[in-house]
Amino acid sequence: MTEVRELIAAVNNADSADGLLEAVEDLAEARSPKAIPVLVEVLGYNNPGAAVAAVDGLIAIGEPVVPYLLDNLDDYNYGARAWATRVFAGVGDPRALDLLLRAAAGDFSQSVRRAAAKGLGSINWSKLEPEQAILARERVLETLLLASEDGEWVVRYAAVVGLQNLAIALFSTQPELAAQTTTRLQELIDGDPEVVIRTRARYALSNEK
């Protein structure tokens, strides 16, 4: 445990961007819940390299991160919120579901909307009661269908990825909803102005079946 304390001290004492990056990478590798507050703080620094390492570390720690991050989210820092959304998306804990639904549909920043849309497809449904999960998947589908009409290509791209993963869960539980994902993906293949979106939707459909 002393070791984790030393790693935390190294992050706090980093005096250059590169030094910070290395210290965060080391701390992330320890995968210790004690590192959570420091790693969350790093999300708020304007240092994309260190933030990537912190996100990876928080995702690796997994579920213990979720309640802390939900309580300590910096609403006024778009960058930090985008990274936090990536953490929630990576962990897939349903406790973050409401936040992801709101973010995917209405966040000001497209990088937040895109991270949320991808995360909505990878929720760990087994953490919910079956009845709750059925309702939650309906809401997720609704939000992803909306996100697939976003004005930013990258959000539509993430929505396609989300729909592809959601469809896999829906085929065994709510096949009538799964059909809606197929229909929407086909619409994108036929009508999206971006060739990258048409291609990604085609790839999603071929992997869905």
Nearest CA among 44, 31, 34 for reference residue 9: 34
Quick note: the x/- pattern for another protein over 4-43, rule CB under 8 A, is --------------x--x----------------------
Q: What one-character DSSP code corresponds to residue 193?
A: S
The tokens for 78 are 């778009």
Say what angle helices 110-120 and 97-106 make with each other, to 10 degrees: 130
CA dist list (Å): 29 to 33, 57, 64, 81, 138: 11, 6, 16, 23, 37
Q: Does 70 bind another protein (CB under 8 A)?
A: no
Q: Does 96 bind another protein (CB under 8 A)?
A: no
Q: Using CB under 8 A, pick the residue from 14, 158, 185, 201 that binds another protein.
A: 158
Judge whether 69 and 87 are in contact, CB under 8 Å.
yes
- Taken as a whole, the chain contains a residue count of 209
Give the range of 6-14, 135-143, 171-179, 194-202 binding another protein by CB under 8 A: 194-202
Give the range of 24-32, 59-67, 68-76, 109-117 binding another protein by CB under 8 A: 109-117
Give the range of 59-67, 94-102, 114-122, 126-134 binding another protein by CB under 8 A: 114-122
| Cα separation, 187 vs 37, whole angstroms | 44
Say what angle helices 97-106 and 130-147 make with each other, to 10 degrees: 10
Q: Does 111 bind another protein (CB under 8 A)?
A: yes
| Cα separation, 197 vs 202, whole angstroms | 8
Give the range of 44-52, 62-70, 92-100, 127-135 binding another protein by CB under 8 A: 44-52
Q: Does 118 bind another protein (CB under 8 A)?
A: yes
Q: Does 45 bind another protein (CB under 8 A)?
A: no
Residues near another protein (CB under 8 A) are 18, 21, 48-49, 52, 89, 110-111, 114-115, 117-118, 153-154, 157-158, 161, 195-196, 199-200, 202-203
